[in-house]
Amino acid sequence: MTRAPVLRATDRGLYCAAGDFFIDPWRPVGRALVTHGHSDHARPGHRAYLCTPLTAPVLRLRLGEVAVETLAWGVPLRIGGATVSFHPAGHVPGSAQIRVEVAGEVWVVSGDYKTEADGLSDPFEPVPCHSFVSECTFGLPVFRWAPQAEVMAAINAWWQANAAAGRASILGAYALGKAQRILAQLDPAIGPILTHGAVEAVNEALRAAGLALPATERVVPGTGAAARPGAFVLAPPSALGTPWARRFGPAAEAFASGWMRLRGVRRRRGLGTGFTLSDHADWEGLNAAIAATGASRVFVTHGYTAPFRRWLEEQGYEAGIVETEFRGEETGEEPETNPDGEPG
């Protein structure tokens, strides 16, 4: 008799029958195990949430006073007939892969992940398993990232040049993860660092949870070019080109994303400058991460699923696709909602 799979896809998300829980479900369920706090993975309406300690404050910021329990890295927890544990995904602070074991069979759900250590998030750790459910947001060979140090040197040089010319530098970056990653690598000697309210709300939640971040100044009514000449402004991408951004006068605008690898995306956004910096694994990172798990079965989700599945089958894996309602970075749009109502 064939044993039921550890996880199966449903119209609400990945479901574990042995433990009666879902992983990153997009419709209300009784118990949700959440990989990280981006709004396409952490949805409202669940009766109970389980996540990492650093994800919990982000859930409360965005969802209100929901019922949240936390689980530290690598600690096994028995839920019904399943044993689960959380392991670093390296995507954003607190992001996790979720390991699920039932009767000796191990599945791992990656959530979103990147394989380059960024100095802020707990770095990605391969987790041995029989079946691996991997995101593949950037699952095409064209997506290959330069080292973070190289990209950040370019961002700091751009800021320095703008400040010398008397312009503010407004960089669009996702409010959770990308913004903090950039903030931690900026050179504060160049000038003041300002943040959009959506970014600063996340900064405050993470600082309160113990994450060390450099000092920033929230943009408030009256903040503008005259008050902070040559400032570096971190804002959600959707704030670019808006009245909110125009308060800084003639300013240079740019966007930091893996999608800046594609010239067409920069053109559509009307940006002269784009920095290719992603919180997702690139082509080489995806392949290395999958190989490191030792899994023989790989299910791909969230991104270029059809071509990446074909590639995996050519490499000898048993491969499948997990359909999802997640959007996030796969469309080049911001995955986060704005927690404080400001444009963004």
Question: Angle CA(199)–CA(204)–CA(205) in degrees, nearest 5?
Answer: 100
Q: pLDDT tens digits, residue range 268-321?
A: 666 668 999 999 999 999 999 999 999 999 999 999 999 999 999 999 999 999
Q: What is the largest CA-CA distance in the chain?
A: 74
In sign, the C-alpha dihedral spanning 107, 111, 114, 118 is: negative
C-alpha to C-alpha distance for 301 and 299, rounded to whole angstroms: 7
Quick check: 332 pLDDT over 60? no
Contact 135, 112 (CB under 8 A): yes
pLDDT greater at residue 224 or residue 9: 9
Contact 96, 117 (CB under 8 A): no
Contact 199, 175 (CB under 8 A): yes
C-alpha to C-alpha distance for 20 and 324, rounded to whole angstroms: 19
Place of tokens 């009245």: 243
Q: pLDDT tens digits, residue range 266-281?
A: 666 666 689 999 999 9
Helices 56-63 and 197-208 meet at what angle, rounded to 10?
A: 140
Q: pLDDT tens digits, residue range 148-168?
A: 999 999 999 999 999 999 999
- pTM for the model stands at 0.92
Average pLDDT over residues 198-213: 96
Take residue 277 and report the two structure tokens written for it.
């910096």
Sheet holding 217-218, edge to edge: 217-218, 193-195, 232-235, 168-172, 251-256, 273-275
Question: What does each C-alpha distance from 248 to 51, 130, 251, 314 come to in angstroms?
Answer: 39, 53, 6, 52
